[in-house]
Amino acid sequence: MKANTILITNDDGIAAPGLKALAEVMKELGEITIVAPDSPQSGMGHAITINNTLHVEHITGFLNTNQAYTCSGTPVDCVKMAVHEIMKKKPSICVSGINHGSNSSINVIYSGTMSAAVEAGIEGVPAIGFSFCNYSWEANFEPLKKYVKKITSEVLKNGLPEGVVLNVNFPNTEKIKGIKICRQAKAIWEEEFDKRTNPMGKEYYWLTGKFVNHDKGEDTDEWALANGYISIVPVHFDLTAYHAVQQLNSWDL
């Protein structure tokens, strides 16, 4: 049987412990290639680098593989670069993460981790983004590994529906109760800008905010995570709101 080829990327950058944990699991499932950003790229969404150059470096002996690279671009750039320039073929699967922090609910849209998975999906590669609801660099990824392996194995076995990738989030708990297939909760960030004055007397801002979930549904990712379950949301990238087409066709345009 031909070995699985596995592309690994993330948005926290090549040095992130979550990437190492993910690579350790994937080595048990196939031949890995790592192409990760050379610096943290959190919050980059589906950004691509079109007004600047891209650099790629081979990292010798990184995590005991000969196939590890950094890319100067975004997570989406990493996937494009991996498929078209480094691997020069589509891998069996692309896994992104394990992100240090949640990508549940509306966070999916800001997430570099998930955008890398979505980009792989656009290119026709089955893809999963993994995120841990624990922002610490010292987070313990060990208890997550068996689930990462199980979910990835199922995708390798069953494939994914066309145009669908998976958004997997792990609850920040010692006792994981199981896995739930969920929908994206309707939650938002209530922004607050932290306004400060720099040493030259000029004002500047930090983007900050409070995550608020207004969605009481027990079929949501937020519910699953709050109740100790791993959430899996199938995510698509045909953004057409089909239910709105009929209504818009009634307008006087």
214 to 253, contacts with a copy of itself by CB under 8 A? 232-245, 247-249, 251-253
How many beta carbons lie within 10 A of that of residue 162, not counting itself?
8
44 binds a copy of itself (CB under 8 A): yes
38 annotated binding-site participant? no
77 annotated binding-site participant? no
154 binds a copy of itself (CB under 8 A): yes
Q: Is 158 helix (H, G, I), strand (E, B) or coil?
A: helix
| Contact with a copy of itself (CB under 8 A) among 21, 34, 81, 94 | 81
β pairing state of 127-132 and 164-170? parallel
Q: Is 53 helix (H, G, I), strand (E, B) or coil?
A: coil
Q: How far is the CB of 22 from a copy of itself (least distance, A)?
A: 18
Report whether 11 contacts 40 (CB < 8 A).
yes
Q: Which residues have CB under 8 Å from 33's CB, separation 6+?
A: 5, 6, 7, 8, 65, 67, 68, 69, 82, 86, 87, 91
Binding-site string for a copy of itself from residue 134 to residue 153, where x marks contact by CB under 8 A and - marks none: ----------------xx--
Q: How far is the CB of 238 from a copy of itself (least distance, A)?
A: 5
Closest CB to a copy of itself among residues 3, 253: 253
191 binds a copy of itself (CB under 8 A): yes
Q: How far is the CB of 138 from a copy of itself (least distance, A)?
A: 19
183 binds a copy of itself (CB under 8 A): yes
102 annotated binding-site participant? no
Euclidean distance between CA atoms 66 and 86, whole angstroms = 12
174 binds a copy of itself (CB under 8 A): no
11 annotated binding-site participant? yes
Euclidean distance between CA atoms 112 and 47, whole angstroms = 8
| Contact with a copy of itself (CB under 8 A) among 59, 63, 87, 164 | 164
| Contact with a copy of itself (CB under 8 A) among 28, 137, 193, 212 | 193
Euclidean distance between CA atoms 28 and 7, whole angstroms = 14
CA angle at residue 53 from 51 to 55, to 5 degrees? Answer: 150
- Helices 145-158, 17-26: crossing angle, 10 deg rounding: 50
Q: How far is the CB of 63 from a copy of itself (least distance, A)?
A: 24
77 binds a copy of itself (CB under 8 A): yes
Residues of the binding site for a divalent metal cation? 11-12, 42, 99
